[in-house]
Chains A and B, each alone.
Chain A
């Protein structure tokens, strides 16, 4: 069964450093999403991406964040200058044309020290 993959599974970085979280969505899916979950809290929407552009973003997704689909298979989330409060689990998801069900990757745990 096709699945969404994410790398790395755990990333530790120092405050102020740039990080890139990578996702490979399901190959024929068209809509891509990033969510984050601070430990013990609810899942929060960050950004959605369709047709090579951002379709919607939340207040959390400020200028420090960017997304890219560099090569038709990867979907990346970049945090330019990490802060302690960026420590969270980041989930990537993708959706097909008509299924409306979002398939989630296993997540990347980001720890900012």
Chain B
């Protein structure tokens, strides 16, 4: 069965520190997609990144970077030089493409608090 584990319930750091949010997933499929979403206090879900199972290249977007390692079934997210505006709940999610259904299986989320 598919499952996403975000072991860190809450992380608190001081502004400008780097922080890594962990995500470990389980799936029996060879084709799958991994996502990160941000949920700020206002409640909406903001898409950050999608990665498919055939692409293990790490990605960097500004202060955000993602490390996808199939060998350890992990898809970790690092924020460099964190800012107060990064404070939010971050969700990792998994999607398996089966019969035209791409439902997302979500981790429990990590609440990130950036203190000024």
Contacts and interface: CB of A to CB of B under 8 A. Distances in A.
- Chain A bound to chain B: yes
Interface of A: 31, 33, 35, 41-45, 48, 50-51, 55-56, 89, 91, 93, 95, 100-104, 106-107, 109
Interface string B75-102: 0000000000000000101010101111
Interface size class for chain B?
20 to 34
Interface of B: 33, 35, 37, 43-45, 47, 50, 52, 91, 93, 95, 97, 99-109
Contact of B100 (A42, A50, A103, A106): A50
Given A100-B97, A101-B50, A42 B102 contact: no
Contacts of A55: 99-101
A107 B44 CA distance: 7
B91 A100 contact: no
13 contacts: A31-B102, A33-B103, A35-B104, A48-B101, A48-B102, A48-B103, A56-B103, A100-B97, A101-B35, A102-B47, A102-B102, A103-B47, A109-B43
